Structure formats: C-alpha cells, structure tokens
Copies of this chain bind each other. A is one copy, B any other.
Amino acid sequence: MLGRRLRLAVIGGGSGSFIGAMHRQAARLDDRFEIVAGVLSSNPEKSKKDGAEIGLPADRIYTSVEEMLVAETARKGGIDVVAIMTPNDSHFEYAMSALEKGFDVICDKPMTNTLQEAEALHKMVLDSGLVFCLTHNYTGYPMVRQAKAMILDGQLGTIRLIQVEYVQGGKADESKPDPSASWRFDPVRGGPSLVMGDIGSHAHNLVRFVTGLEVSEVAAEIGNIVPGRAVHDYGGALLRFTNGARGSYWVTQAAAGVENCLRIRVSGTKGTVEWMQEFPQALTFKPLGAPSQNRTPNGPGTLPFAKRSSRIVAGHPEGFHEGFANIYSDAAEAIAARRSGNQADPLALHFPNSFDGLMGLKFVFGAIESSKANGKWTSC
C-alpha cells in the first residue's frame, strides 16, 4: 500500500459552514489524510483567513479552485485528492476540473443539480479511472452496514417492503421569514428541489445501499407545506422496486421540533430490520418467528463489513463523525490502492460513488416529474 497519508485539498467549508468541519474531522480521525491545501471560500480574503484558521500554510491557501489545481499539479509533493463541500450548484464544475487534472475526488451530496451534469460527471469518472466518493455519510454508520451485510447474507430473505423517512424541523419555524440570503432557501442555487437534494437524496441512497435494490417507479408529491415558501420543504412518495418490492418514502424539513429523524425499515420474507439515525448504535432485527433482537456495533452477530466500520468494543457508541470518517477511510483505501497499483480490500469499496450520485439525481427528477403529473407512476 501507499506508505504515507494522502494529501488532501479542501474546496469550501470556510467559517460558518457546518459540513466543512465535518469533512475535515472525518478526514483526520483515522489518520489516512493530511489536509495540506484549500480554497475555503470564493471570497479571497475569507479564504485566506479561514485557511490559516484550519492550519494551512499560507502558500497553499488559494483563492480559486483553478489556481489551486494548477499550482498543486506543478508542485512537488502536491495534493492527491480534492474534497468538495460547497453549495450544491458548484459541485459539478469543481469535480469536473479536479478529475480532468487527474485528482481523485471526494464530493458532498447531491452530486449535481441537473441530470445532464450527473451523467457527464459519471461518464468522466468511468473514463478517467479515478476515485469519486460521494459523501452520503449515513452509509458509513456501522449498523447501516450491518443491515446491508445481513441482507447480502440472505438473513432477511427476499425483500418485500421498505419504509424510509427523513424528518427534520430546521425549516419549521413560520414565525420567522425565510432568510433570502441563504442558499438553502434559494431555488436557483439549491437545485430543483431543496428538500430532495438536502435530505431526500440521503433517504433514497440509504434504501439503495441497504437493500441493493433500485427504485423502478415512483409516485410522488413534492412541494412547500409552509405557505409562501419559495423552495420545497416536504416530499412524499410511494415506491416500486426492481424486484417487485414496494415502499413508502417521506421527507420534510418542516416538522416543528423534530431534530434529525432519518429512519429505515426493511422487511423481507425472513424478517425485518429497523434503524434510526438518532440512535445509530442500535439495529433492531425482527426475525420471522423468533424474538426481536437489538444488534450493536461489534456485538454478537456482527458481520465483517460492519466490524471493519467500527473502531471500538461493543457498548461504546460511535456517532456521526465516525460514520463520516468511514466514508473517508474507505475512499482513502481505494485511492491508495489505485495509486500503488494494489487491490483494495473489497469491503472498502461500498462507499457511494458517481453511479450512486447519478441514480440519486434520476430519482429526484423522476419524483418531481411524477409530482407535476398529479402523482402518476413515473420511471426513474
């Protein structure tokens, strides 16, 4: 393997960004990256200040992505990987630039704001042979991985029924007008459906990740439940899956008082698994005809894919950061393998990639189309 840490550049994540700090902590936790360069903000002054704040050397704090990619390409010991954590509408441009110059890419979700961009980006990834990792971080939780591994192992039998919901309250307070300055309330920058891009894509990806099934058709309604709001704040759907399974899907950011309830339930012919992000250390497994079980990270019955995704003995909870770090560390494994010409551990290769990003966009646009067509079942 590569005998050193990967050299990482960050794009975005300056002061005030929640997700920027998450990316950097995720990169650091398992010590497979060193953050050596960055464009922290599109505002040059802010980029300098925020770059210094996170400890970057002055000569590797850049004020444009293009500038950074050129300079780091030329530099001896320049960067290996670029991590993108900017608003949704710039993911495509920065990811394409980085891939064109031969850098592996870690990118926040949703992958792009349009389907055309998603297709182009996915093609670019395939053509380049580079690693592209999309940070659908919830797939990094040990018990989400345990659920996937149990299903792959046949412990649930044929999947029949799926429920997924992602309910938040961040946009519920109607006593305050929507902040027009924020891109999260701006339908232009935020993409075709903010609730779908922000959290709906997570819910969709989680279902695909856990079950291995694709949504074949969707019947949806997406809109704004808060009167007068410019962006979507809820989306509901019924789902049909490629194997005939059926599903229910519900996402909103307007549920007053709810914090971050991402919840999935999958029933197969042999049993049901249930997982909730707010208590991620618990996976409930309800086998047909036997007592319901509480599965825990590294507890009895842990399968290898979950075992390698946990750093600690059973009973000691890991959280959001460790799940996020699992995605980063898996990407590191893939990148290091590619660079050294070695085989990566196959269990490392389940991190979300550009195909997953493309499928996410297809689902979002399928759901929007269905919603416009009065809930008609629509392929996606």
Which residues of chain A have a CB within 8 Å of any CB of chain B?
5, 18, 21-22, 24-25, 28-31, 54-55, 157, 160-161, 163, 165, 167-169, 172-174, 219-221, 223, 225-226, 234, 236-238, 244-248, 250, 252, 254-261, 265, 267-272, 277-281, 284-296, 299-301, 311-322, 374-377
Chain B residues within 8 Å of A29, by CB = 25, 28-29, 321
Residues of B with C-beta under 8 A to A258 = 267, 272, 286, 315
Closest to A252 in B: B161
Docked-complex contact B261 and A315, CB < 8 angstroms: yes
Given A286-B256, A287-B257, A315-B261, does the pair A237, B234 have CB atoms closer than 8 Å? Answer: no
* List of B residues within 8 angstroms of A272 by Cβ: 169, 255-258
Known: A169-B272, A292-B257. A311 touches B317 (CB 8 A): no
Q: Given the interface contacts A160-B225, A285-B291, does A260 sit within 8 Å of B314 by beta carbon?
A: yes
Which residues on B sit within 8 Å (CB–CB) of A312?
18, 22, 320-321
How long is the Cα–Cα vector from A314 to B259 in the complex, in angstroms? 6
Structural contact, B296 and A294, CB atoms closer than 8 A: no
Q: What are the 8 tightest A-B residue pairs by CB atom distance, in nearest-first order?
A: A260-B315, A259-B315, A257-B286, A319-B319, A317-B319, A256-B288, A255-B267, A248-B250
Bound: A237/B312 CA distance, A: 30
Complex interface: chain B residues within 8 A of A316 (CB) = 260, 277, 319-320
CA distance A54 to B30 in the complex (A): 10
- Nearest Cβ on chain B to A17's Cβ, whole angstroms: 12
| Neighbouring B residues of A18 by C-beta, 8 Å | 312-313
Q: Chain B's nearest CB lies how many Å from the CB of A58? A: 13
A311 touches B300 (CB 8 A): no
User: CA of A293 to CA of B297 in the docked complex: distance in angstroms?
Assistant: 15
| A55-B5, A246-B221, A314-B260 as given contacts; A254 in contact with B160, CB under 8 Å | yes
CA distance A257 to B289 in the complex (A): 6
For A301, list chain B residues within 8 Å (CB).
290-291
* Interface CB pairs A-B, < 8 A, 16: A28-B28, A28-B31, A31-B55, A169-B272, A223-B246, A225-B246, A234-B246, A238-B238, A258-B286, A260-B314, A281-B317, A281-B319, A291-B295, A291-B300, A317-B319, A375-B375
With A and B bound together, what is the CA distance between A322 and B319 in angstroms? Answer: 8
Query: Quick one: which of B169, B271, B321 contacts A321, CB cutoff 8 A?
Result: B321
Asked if A225 and B245 sit within 8 Å, CB to CB, the answer is yes
Instruction: Report the bound CA distance from A285 to B280 in whole Å.
Output: 21
| Residues from chain B with Cβ under 8 Å of A281 in the complex | 278-279, 317, 319
Distance of A28 Cα from B285 Cα, bound (Å): 35
Report the separation of the CA atoms of residues A176 and B15 in the bound assembly, to the nearest whole angstrom: 52
B246 touching A248, Cβ below 8 Å:
no
In the complex, what's the smallest C-beta–C-beta distance from A20 to chain B, in angstroms? 12
Residue of B nearest to A170 (CB): B313
Which single residue of chain B is at the shortest CB-CB distance from A296?
A: B259
A169 touches B246 (CB 8 A): no
Q: A378 — nearest CB in chain B belongs to which residue?
A: B375
Given contacts A5-B55, A292-B293, 10 further A-B contacts (CB under 8 A): A18-B312, A22-B312, A169-B272, A169-B286, A223-B246, A256-B288, A279-B317, A317-B317, A374-B376, A376-B376
Provide the bound-state CA to CA distance between A314 and B18, in Å: 12
Query: Quick check: A254 and B161 within 8 Å, CB to CB?
Result: yes
